[in-house]
């Protein structure tokens, strides 16, 4: 059985799950708490999740998992176009979102959470092994400090991240302004999947069960989310998430 190591709320992990579910590949998800996940990943020579452990390989980034899943997709609906120029465009956008969008949406969302232990444990303590949840609670001050340092999470950093997300949403809205239905070509691709998954922290799609309900989020966060949702790029991602995200019928949570 394929094993997917995750921090369940992570948008990069959702990117991997989405590709696996789309290709109808069975896997067992093993959720972890941030920082404590290193016990599972460092022996595999990587710090970040998602990690997919298959019979023959360890895939240690969301994009390698998307590519691996897509190569095993038996339907005709592949995430990477055959046309070399379109494929290059998809891969460039995917890399751009991985490098710039994901870190910025994540940093901005964590800036509303990490100072509040109860809120953080509610989000980060679900679907992880009970012992790890206990350690998350007991070691919270150290874990929060490591996360804040790791992400460079200062008020100025969070403000810069918000500006970066806005700039990428402006780029994506401009791309969509000719009325196209997908970011590249006329079919759903890895560019649409990457943009949508990594935008989750600033859009809080109603179907994404790992985030707290919208009404319970802090008011300034709700206001920014409402504003992102109203942009063409935001409306596009919400449509992609509603229409193109198969629910994981064969997905199981190892530690739930």
Ligand X SMILES: N[C@@H](CCC(=O)N[C@@H](CS)C(=O)NCC(=O)O)C(=O)O
Q: Given the complex with ligand X, which of 49 and 193 has the nearer CB atom?
A: 49
Q: Given the complex with ligand X, which of 16 and 25 has the nearer CB atom?
A: 16
Q: Which of 3, 24, 28, 48 binds ligand X (CB under 6 A)?
A: 48
Element (H, E) at 118: helix 117-124
Neighbours of 84 (CB within 10 A): 8
Q: Which of 24, 78, 86, 98 binds ligand X (CB under 6 A)?
A: 98
Q: Pick the closest to residue 101 from 189, 170, 52, 47 (CA basis).
A: 170
CA–CA separation, 43 and 107 (whole Å): 26
Q: Given the complex with ligand X, which of 96 and 239 has the nearer CB atom?
A: 96
Based on the shown chain and the rule CB under 6 A, indicate whether residue 50 belongs to the binding site for ligand X.
yes
Q: How many residues bind ligand X (CB under 6 A)?
A: 13
Listed ranges 41-49, 155-163, 169-177, 208-216: which one lies at the site for ligand X (CB under 6 A): 41-49
Q: Which of 150, 152, 218, 246 binds ligand X (CB under 6 A)?
A: 150
CA atoms within 13 A on the CB side of 17: 30
In the complex, the smallest distance separating the C-beta of residue 132 from ligand X, rounded to whole angstroms, is: 15
Based on the shown chain and the rule CB under 6 A, indicate whether residue 63 belongs to the binding site for ligand X.
yes
Q: Given the complex with ligand X, which of 131 and 150 has the nearer CB atom?
A: 150
Kindly report the backbone phi and psi dihedral angles of residue 212, in degrees, each rounded to the nearest multiple of 5, phi listed first.
-65, 155
Q: Given the complex with ligand X, which of 89 and 98 has the nearer CB atom?
A: 98
Q: Which of 17, 106, 107, 133 binds ligand X (CB under 6 A)?
A: 106
Cα four-point dihedral sign 198, 200, 205, 211: positive
Q: Given the complex with ligand X, which of 177 and 245 has the nearer CB atom?
A: 245
Q: Pick the closest to residue 195 from 256, 149, 241 (CA basis).
A: 241
Structure tokens at 195: 């943009």
Q: Pick the closest to residue 240 from 182, 184, 169, 185 (CA basis).
A: 182
Instruction: Name 6's bridge partners.
Output: 31
Q: Which of 4, 5, 8, 12 binds ligand X (CB under 6 A)?
A: 12
Contacts with ligand X, residue ranges (CB under 6 A): 7, 10, 12, 47-50, 61-63, 98, 106, 150
């Amino acid at each position: 059985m394929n094993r997917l190591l995750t921090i369940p709320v992570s948008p990069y992990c959702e990117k991997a799950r989405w590709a696996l579910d789309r290709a109808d590949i069975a896997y067992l998800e093993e959720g972890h708490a941030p920082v404590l996940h290193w016990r599972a990943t460092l022996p595999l020579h990587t710090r970040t999740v998602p990690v997919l452990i298959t019979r023959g390989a360890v895939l240690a980034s969301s994009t390698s998992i998307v590519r691996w899943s897509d190569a095993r997709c038996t339907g005709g609906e592949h995430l990477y176009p055959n046309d070399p120029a379109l494929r290059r465009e998809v891969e460039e956008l995917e890399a751009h979102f991985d490098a710039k969008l994901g870190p910025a949406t994540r940093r901005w969302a964590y800036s509303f959470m990490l100072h509040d232990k109860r809120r953080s444990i509610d989000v980060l303590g679900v679907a992880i092994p009970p012992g790890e949840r206990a350690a998350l609670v007991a070691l919270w001050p150290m874990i929060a400090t490591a996360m804040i340092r790791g992400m460079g999470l200062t008020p100025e950093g969070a403000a810069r991240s918000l500006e970066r997300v806005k700039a990428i949403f402006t780029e994506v809205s401009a791309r969509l302004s000719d009325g196209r239905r997908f970011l590249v070509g006329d079919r759903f691709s890895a560019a649409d999947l990457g943009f949508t998954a990594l935008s989750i922290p600033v859009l809080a799609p109603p179907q994404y069960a790992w985030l707290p309900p919208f009404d319970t989020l802090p008011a300034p966060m709700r206001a920014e989310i409402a504003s992102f949702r109203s942009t063409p790029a935001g409306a596009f991602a919400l449509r992609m998430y509603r229409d193109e995200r198969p629910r994981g019928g064969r997905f199981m949570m190892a530690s739930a």
